[in-house]
Structure 1
Amino acid sequence: MALVALFSRAKSGYTGSNIDRFLYAFAVYIVPTLIALATIATLIWGTQQFDSKGGVTLPLQVVRDAAGTLDPATALQRMSGAVTTNRFNTQLSEKPVWFEFTVPNMSAEQSTYAELPSRHAQTLSCWVASTLQPLGTADRLNTTNEFSPVKAGFALHLGHLVQPLSILCRGTFSGPAQIAAFGWSGPELRRAALDFQESSGLIAGGLLTLAVFVFVTAMINREWTYVIFAVWLVGNLRLCANAMGWDMQWLGRVIPPDYMQSLRQLTFAAYYLLTAALFASLFRRELKVIGYRWLLKIIQYVGLVLLGAAIVLPYSKFIPTLWVITGFGIAVLIFLLARLVWLTRSRTVLWYVGSLAIVLFATFSEVMGAAFGIKLLVGGVNTVMAALSSSMMAAFAIAEQMRAEREHRRQAQTELRNTYDVTPIGLFTLDAAGHFVRANPALRSMLALQKAEYKVRHWNDYFESGAWGALQALASKGSEGELEMGGAESRGSGERRFLLKATRSNGWIEGSLQDVTERSKAIERLRFLAEHDPLTGSLNRRGVEKAIAAQSEDASSWALAYVDLDRFKLVNDLFGHRAGDEVLKQVATRTRALFANGFPFGRIGGDEFVCVMSRMSIDEAVDCCQRLISALSDTPYQVGNRAFQVKASVGLVECSHGVRVQDALSHADRACREAKKSSSVHMVTYRKGATAFEERAEELKLVETLGRNRLPPGLFLVMQPIMSLAAPTESLNFEVLLRMRAPDGATLPAGKVIVAAEESGNIAAIDKWVLATLLEWVEKHQASLQSTRFICVNLSGGSLNDEQFMEDAFALFARYRHVVPYLCLEITESVALHDLGNTQRFIARVHEMGGKIALDDFGAGYTSFKYLKDLSADALKIDGEFIRTMCAHPADIAIVEAIVALARNLGMRSVAEWVEDIDTLRALKEIGVDYVQGYLIAKPQESGAILSAASAASFVKDPDVLEFIDRIAGSDKSLAFSFDLVDKAGLH
């Protein structure tokens, strides 16, 4: 019995399995195959339900009514000369058209009908040609008498004809209308109408069903490309409806005729844009391979033009525009489709290409038919088949893409599983309690974790205290965050650092872990070096600025000390940088020892240090800095077997809440520079409200103004006369000086403007403006400058070292070449010798263009006279410090005499600045100085005063000076004459 029962169960299971397999094969293979075979057989051998033999084409005689004034009798008279045709093209004209045709008896037993099939017909009126008896009227809203709507046009009921009947009709049409007439018997016309409705219903139902399916699939899978495809299918449906003539309705509802033209235009334009968008979206990956993406961009932009035309153009003007743009777009898409097929050879691409190709071909056929009367597709059935076959191929493409994506996901899962096992980064999965669920080999090796310990070991067992809570917080943020945590001391990994990323998934926590111990140590080192000086271990400039910024937010009182070592450069120059570095280390050590309470202290320059003295009044800070000076200056610095005595100067400023970092440093730096200038006082203190604060604030404000603008407002030029001591009344030479007018109307000192411009980096632009303004002024007033031999202009060192400025300056000289000989460019001695080769080239180019060169502030520098032989300057301007005190100090007279003799022997003219009294003027005359300049002669003048003066002596007001000038003019006429001859040739 047991064996029987076992056999019975086995037999029953075997039978059930066979039944299941049969049912599966029946549903999946047999039934679809039978349906497909039956469908093919029906299409080949079956008879159409509404088979019609077709209407008889009726020849037409057509007359255009351009003025719209013909009546039936007049139109009938003009028909006698009209040409007979089977089809008449209105060529987009919307003027009335009269046409006549003869209808034979189509059936002995049934009524005869005349079909006027044009879907572009707007109004029709017909008469019996022999009697002009009205037969009725028709438009898209109503029909009367014998007219009735049929298919895309109208039918005229003529009853039982005994003999052929001639019909006269008047019609108005819009768009690319084709006028034709067909004769039908009643039953044949009804079958043709039913066939038309069946075709339209088939294509509408098929495309709408497919569009809904694609749309639902797209929404479920969030594939927005398929949304475009679904909308494109609806557009495909509307284009087919337009081609077949039933686009006057939608879902069985009639569209008002008044909106049809605008709706068709917008439909065409939207379909064009949808086709381009769908193409770009479907083949976005493949287009990167085949290239020519710019072509697709062009047809998209052209589509926007078509959309604009659809909105603003009338239908008759829009249709030609549509033909041109559509023809171009179709040509581009066909070209891209050909390259897609040739280069990608993907099955998905082939299905999509086939679908789009059929639609493009059908659309191209309609364009060719409408524009040129060439029909590539004949009849409505072909249009239906084109639409349905393209939609079917699109469905195959969607199915193939889904299959490819499913295969891609399967491969990706396999690759992910393999990657999970071999990746060097630790990967893990934890349950909600914090125990391990999965871990890859890298993580097990990193934590010395065994698979058997998954359910036993907790996350906290391997990491620092609070690690599990930190992990949960990180996982709650999603995959964007990361966290660094330390190892567990109990497992001997307390020194190790791990980088963690985690996220929550299906109630678990998944993440990755990397050992970043070495990287963490390197980062800590870099962070230290980012704000600390590697030589002294104190803060660097960035660290000091950060400390100042933090302190400025504190409301308590504090001060800033700026420390500079006096003549520290000698240590480096005499004993090398190693000795200097050792001194700097000892300076930092002594300072830190004095500031044991932890003031932020740092090195911001070669031998410059800054201390942020927080929570300290200015008086306490003064005492503290006095001790600092003593600590740094009193005890020698022992380096090997040598000892160095280095003094320190300190600038101390009292700072307030909210002070800017750069302002605080600038004030302290200025105080320190004042302390260094003094030989007895080694510390200068700025308290709140000090004048120096206000002056520096004005300077910084001016620097910011010059830095914000390429060329600041308020600049203008003044001119200070330079008088010849040989012929004071014969020449009018002057120096151009820069001034700047502040917003309140006050004139800023030139020195402040120049210093601020150099500090802001804007000096080159200002020098260029001075040159351009002066040259333009000289060119404009050249006729009034007959007595002028030279005009001095200062150039800053920053400009002379700016290659762009040099190019711009010589471009200006080239533009104003005829007035360049007036220019005498002043450069300081130190700037000239900074780059002797560059200066020599500059002087040579200026001389080539006819200009002159003067060395300014000569004698103020530290340079040797031997360099003068290498500088072919035209004049030396003696530093004003020697001139101002020469009558009080015989040494200054000796120096001036030496400079004047040197200039004369080198063939240069001498110019004395800062001449402010008559005694100095007489002394300069006796020494033999050529020219003098200063307030004794004239203060800087406006340009108008210069133009109205006869000579530099015209500005002199002092009676003693006037008497002195008269004496020179009376006693030295011969000398003045000879000098003037030389002076007219220039300064040489």
Structure 2
Amino acid sequence: MTGVSGSERTSKRWGVSARLDELFHTVSLYAVPVAILLLSLLVLFFQENQYAVHGNLPLSFQARGDLPSSFSLEAAEHAVAATPELRQYDTHLSEAPVWFRVAVTPAAANESTYIEFPSRHAQSLVCWRDGAQQPVGHGDRTGVSGGIRVSKAGFSINLGRLKEPAILLCQGTFSGPAHLTLTAWPSSQLSLSEKEFHRSTGLLEGGLLTLSGFVLVTAIINQEWLYVLFAAWLVGNLRLAANSIGADTQWLERAIPTDWDAFVRKLTFAIYYVLTYSLFTQLFRRELQRIGLRWMVMALQWSGVLLFSAAVALPYAHFVPVLWVVAALGIVIVLCLLVRILVMTRSRVALWYSASLAIVLFATFSEVVAAAFNARALAGTLNSVTAALFSSMMAALAIAEQMRAEHQGKLQAQAELRNAYDVTPVGLFTLDDQGAFVRANAALHTMLGIGALGSHEFRWDDFFGQSTWRMLQDVAQQRGESELEILSLPQPDGSSNRYLVKAILANGRIEGSLQDITERAKTMEQLRFLAENDSLTGVPNRRGIEKSLEEAIRTLSDTRPAALAYLDLDRFKLVNDLFGHHAGDEVLRQVCDRVRQRLSADQSVGRTGGDEFIIVFRDATIREAGAIARRLVDAIAGEPYPIGNRAFQVRASIGVIELAADMRVPDAISAADRACREAKKARRELVVYERGASAFRERLDELRLIDALDAGLTPNSLYLEMQPIMAMADPGGSLNFEVLLRMRDGDGNVVPAHRVITAAEENGTIGMIDKWVLSSTLAWLDAHRERLPKTLFVCVNLSGASLNDEHFIRDIFATLAEYERVAGLLCIEITETVALHDLDNTRRFVDRIHTLGGKIALDDFGAGFSSFSYLKDLPVDAIKIDGAFVKSMLTHPANVAIVEAIVALAKNLGMRSVAEWVEDAETLEALSELGVDYVQGYLIARPQSPEAILTADSAVSFIRDPDLAMLLTELGDEYYAYGGRTRMQ
């Protein structure tokens, strides 16, 4: 006999349970809803309504609303009896008392007969029977008495069991657009009808409040605040429906004070309009932007403002016509917009919302529209109760459609997210709190070589180690998105990959991404190396060596001295020009190798560009650095550099400076560069500047001056002096002078002019200074022209950098045009080198100066590589002989010959000659014999202040030596005897 094992019995029990579970689910999901639907249809069509009424009889009556209040009961009855009978009487917003008369027949044989006055607008009612003087009853919204009682929305009167017809005369007051009808009821049927009325009211209120509450809870849970607005709108539907059936005098089974009724009704309509506008514009915000028609939306908006204002300010009778107009306008505008939206969007959600809004907007206001146009049929078929029922149904459908659309959107988003999760090239993962992988995409599987997660548990520290897991936890707990670079555990070959990890903590799990940046990290390391190292030689570049220099200065102390060397290869350009850049590159590599071999670990060399290098000597005194530099010079020049079948001999010049703690990196390099240039110029191979060396101090002073110029010039930092230029033919006949630039430092000391100019040229402010000198000179001449009658010309020196700047040229000609009255006195001095740099441009500049009446002088003529041939094509007015020739004329006979040649050349070309640096009488006599036109120097006068120039009569006014004055008189006479000229023309 074969037995059944325990595991097989357990498996069978689980199988039966699963099938039962599936059966219950099917019955609950399909069978029960279908059964409920079928049962409801059967009951609806085949069972009698337990609230069905019969025996009610609409009555014809006579009515008048225009009788004076002074009429007696009899007079009123006679007046009403004369009017025709009708079934409905409309007050048309009149609040005057209405008299009506009706003949009542018994409604049932054995029951009391009741006359119902169903108007919800009825405010009071009093009735008399068969001409009696005492009323049968009295009733208003505060209470009833006698045979009158409250019935449904209005009143009813108990006539008892009638044996024969009775005549009933009543007076009533009404508010709003009242429609007066009368109905005779058997007491039992009226009671049944009242029960059905209250039941319907309760169902309407309970159903809409339940739906509104459901929508509100849904909105709060899902944080969809649009549904809050929709819930409030449903409550508005309820109040309008209650108003339609006359049940708006209570709320939640509590009566609203009678005095508040009119105001509450007005406010209900106004608030409902505002809610409808807000709901409509929020539901279709995007659609309204798409279709345009902004003016229609604004019309709706301002109509709401008008309606709300009318509700607050106007009485009910006057408010109702405003409501009719606004309601009609709102219906037309909203329906137009809805049609446009549906045509353009074709959204099912928009369709249901539109249907709900359309029904409510049309049906809710049908009664007021019917009252305005006396459309009784419309009022009988469509009202606010119908609107509330239909809009509730449409709202349910809209919410269902919205939920379906959102659910489909979520499913689609999840599918897209899942697809993106699987195909993204970045590794994505989810870890539990123990570091085990819960989920991972294909990219992560590939990166880490992970198999199927279900087959084996993989942990984070299996790939990155326990310390990295703790780091990942710290990163994930930080607010915002954080990232971390980590290394994987070593692979069998010893290598590790580098990854970038981003992670956040969500629901107790770590969600993150993993990106392999191994190649990027290698590239970045290479880029960082190239950013601070020279790709040709492998030594640091300017940026890298400046970092080393900055560190050396920062750590400088008495126990840790440091020095800096600037190394420049001599005539290295010839190697590139004659044998190509390949040979030059190889020479540079070998030079770097020789230098590095002779430097210690604390010393570093860097290439700043071309054939120039910087060497930082850390922990070395200036003497030690100088000794190392001497060995470097010897090593570079000691042996030739073999390149292929050729060998090159290379020499170097080095400048070494002692570093100070207050030095800046650019200043230190500039000082070392100056020392190197001095070594190259003097052909000394090595120049060493100790910290106290005069040349070193001068260079630092120049750098500080450059900083001062960079910071901007203060008005008192620059000033002008003027050195007289004397005419040899008539020393006392003119007062000409050269304008000289001067500058005071912060301590008030005068800075040498050549240092100011050198610093300005280095930092690029020379153009600004030249412009200041020129404009200041012209402004001074213009202000004192009448006090300078003997001034024929004023020399102003402009730098080559300025004259090669088109913007500067444009500005100076604008300045000359501004001072046209004194522009003819100006004589601009330009150096020979600047003039030859661009001869055509110089010629154009000279011509423009001549057009304005100014003059041009060639300054320092003879100091450069002079070429006399260009002078015939350059129409300058004067030649200023370089002072170096003049000062040494009497000691070097060759200089006399040079000066004589220049003077003769000037005379032959129609130019004037000016000799500078005249410092003794013997030189003056020699110049006179050579025929020089003008002289300038300390012998005549030192540079003077502008005030001293204004007080002088001529250049001779500054001569205090009587012997020199007599000599000038004699020389003047001799000058005329030899046919000299006196003026620069």
Partner SS state of residue 822, structure 2:
helix
Residue of structure 1 in register with 2:513 after alignment: 512
Shift of 1:855: 2.2
Shift of 1:278: 12
Within a 5 Å distance, the mapping from 1:677-826 to structure 2 comes to 677-680=681-684, 682-687=686-691, 689-692=692-695, 694-709=697-712, 714-826=717-829
Contact 1:486–1:494 (8 Å) recurs in 2: no
**2: CA distance, partners of 1:953 / 1:828:** 28
Partner SS state of residue 443, structure 1:
helix
Within a 5 Å distance, the mapping from 1:405-444 to structure 2 comes to 406-444=407-445
Gaps of 5+ in 2: 1-14, 45-62, 68-93, 102-170, 179-205, 241-254, 258-269, 306-333, 363-381
Contact 2:430–2:510 (8 Å) recurs in 1: yes
Partner SS state of residue 561, structure 1:
strand
Contact 1:229–1:278 (8 Å) recurs in 2: no
**2: CA distance, partners of 1:28 / 1:654:** 104
Which deviations, in whole Å up to 9, do the C-alpha atoms of 1:688-729 show, x marking residues without a partner? x55555444433332223223387763222222222223322
Greater shift after overlay, 852-861 or 508-517? 508-517
**2: CA distance, partners of 1:541 / 1:920:** 52
Q: 1:221 to 1:104 in 2, by over 3 A?
A: closer
Within a 5 Å distance, the mapping from 1:317-332 to structure 2 comes to none
Shift of 1:613: 1.2
**2: CA distance, partners of 1:675 / 1:360:** 100
Q: 1:359 to 1:107 in 2, by over 3 A?
A: closer
Which deviations, in whole Å up to 9, do the C-alpha atoms of 1:412-454 show, x marking residues without a partner? 2211111222223333334444443333333333343322686
Contact 1:464–1:494 (8 Å) recurs in 2: no
TM-score, with structure 2 as normaliser:
0.64
Gaps of 5+ in 1: 1-5, 36-53, 59-101, 110-184, 193-204, 241-251, 255-266, 307-332, 362-380
Residue of structure 2 in register with 1:603 after alignment: 607
Residue of structure 2 in register with 1:872 after alignment: 875
Q: Percent identity?
A: 51
Q: 1:103 to 1:570 in 2, by over 3 A?
A: closer
Residue of structure 1 in register with 2:248 after alignment: none
**2: CA distance, partners of 1:469 / 1:415:** 33
AA aligned to 1:702 is: L
Contact 1:911–1:933 (8 Å) recurs in 2: yes
**2: CA distance, partners of 1:801 / 1:476:** 64
Residue of structure 2 in register with 1:850 after alignment: 853
Which deviations, in whole Å up to 9, do the C-alpha atoms of 1:813-859 show, x marking residues without a partner? 33334433222222222233333443333333333433332222222
Q: Does 1:967 align with 2:970?
A: yes
Contact 2:626–2:688 (8 Å) recurs in 1: no
Residue of structure 2 in register with 1:494 after alignment: 495
**1: CA distance, partners of 2:766 / 2:519:** 49
Q: 1:614 aligns with which of 596, 613, 618?
A: 618
Contact 1:558–1:618 (8 Å) recurs in 2: yes
Partner SS state of residue 600, structure 1:
strand
Q: 1:830 to 1:874 in 2, by over 3 A?
A: same
Aligned length: 773
Contact 1:878–1:912 (8 Å) recurs in 2: yes
Q: Does 1:930 align with 2:936?
A: no
Residue of structure 2 in register with 1:526 after alignment: 527
**1: CA distance, partners of 2:889 / 2:442:** 91
Contact 2:719–2:741 (8 Å) recurs in 1: yes
Q: 1:212 to 1:808 in 2, by over 3 A?
A: farther
Contact 1:723–1:937 (8 Å) recurs in 2: yes
Contact 1:558–1:614 (8 Å) recurs in 2: yes
Which deviations, in whole Å up to 9, do the C-alpha atoms of 1:175-228 show, x marking residues without a partner? xxxxxxxxxx98435999xxxxxxxxxxxx9999999999987876667x8699
Shift of 1:540: 0.6
Q: 2:652 aligns with which of 622, 629, 648?
A: 648
Partner SS state of residue 827, structure 2:
strand
**2: CA distance, partners of 1:388 / 1:827:** 102
Contact 1:727–1:976 (8 Å) recurs in 2: no
Q: Does 1:188 align with 2:189?
A: no
Q: 1:953 aligns with which of 948, 953, 956?
A: 956
Q: 1:572 to 1:979 in 2, by over 3 A?
A: same
Which deviations, in whole Å up to 9, do the C-alpha atoms of 1:747-786 show, x marking residues without a partner? 3332222222222222222222222222333333333333
Residue of structure 1 in register with 2:545 after alignment: 544
Contact 1:711–1:765 (8 Å) recurs in 2: no
Contact 2:95–2:174 (8 Å) recurs in 1: no
AA aligned to 2:887 is: R
**1: CA distance, partners of 2:440 / 2:624:** 63
Q: 1:907 to 1:13 in 2, by over 3 A?
A: closer
**1: CA distance, partners of 2:226 / 2:787:** 83
Contact 2:792–2:825 (8 Å) recurs in 1: yes
Partner SS state of residue 491, structure 2:
helix
Q: 1:674 aligns with which of 672, 675, 678?
A: 678
Shift of 1:400: 7.7
Residue of structure 1 in register with 2:641 after alignment: 637
Which deviations, in whole Å up to 9, do the C-alpha atoms of 1:640-661 show, x marking residues without a partner? 4444443333222222446422
Q: 1:812 to 1:637 in 2, by over 3 A?
A: same
Q: 2:588 aligns with which of 573, 584, 587?
A: 584
Contact 1:435–1:454 (8 Å) recurs in 2: no
Q: Does 1:564 align with 2:568?
A: yes
Q: Does 1:628 align with 2:632?
A: yes
Residue of structure 2 in register with 1:134 after alignment: none
Larger Rg: 2
AA aligned to 2:594 is: R
Shift of 1:792: 1.7
Shift of 1:542: 0.4
**1: CA distance, partners of 2:715 / 2:278:** 53
Partner SS state of residue 536, structure 1:
coil
Q: 1:535 to 1:12 in 2, by over 3 A?
A: closer
Residue of structure 1 in register with 2:887 after alignment: 884
Shift of 1:895: 2.2
Residue of structure 2 in register with 1:70 after alignment: none
Contact 2:213–2:231 (8 Å) recurs in 1: no
**2: CA distance, partners of 1:356 / 1:971:** 120
**2: CA distance, partners of 1:769 / 1:385:** 92
Partner SS state of residue 427, structure 1:
strand
AA aligned to 1:632 is: I
Residue of structure 1 in register with 2:75 after alignment: none
Q: 1:512 to 1:233 in 2, by over 3 A?
A: same
Partner SS state of residue 709, structure 1:
coil
**2: CA distance, partners of 1:461 / 1:8:** 42
**2: CA distance, partners of 1:360 / 1:900:** 110
What's the C-alpha RMSD, in Å, of the aligned pairs?
Answer: 6.1
Within a 5 Å distance, the mapping from 1:302-341 to structure 2 comes to none
Greater shift after overlay, 782-791 or 456-465? 456-465
Q: 1:554 to 1:743 in 2, by over 3 A?
A: closer
TM-score, with structure 1 as normaliser:
0.63
Which deviations, in whole Å up to 9, do the C-alpha atoms of 1:11-60 show, x marking residues without a partner? 998688445547668999999xx99xxxxxxxxxxxxxxxxxx99999xx
Contact 2:832–2:864 (8 Å) recurs in 1: yes
**2: CA distance, partners of 1:851 / 1:386:** 99
Contact 1:799–1:806 (8 Å) recurs in 2: yes
AA aligned to 2:926 is: A
Shift of 1:527: 1.4
**1: CA distance, partners of 2:656 / 2:748:** 34
Partner SS state of residue 601, structure 2:
coil
AA aligned to 1:568 is: F
Residue of structure 2 in register with 1:155 after alignment: none
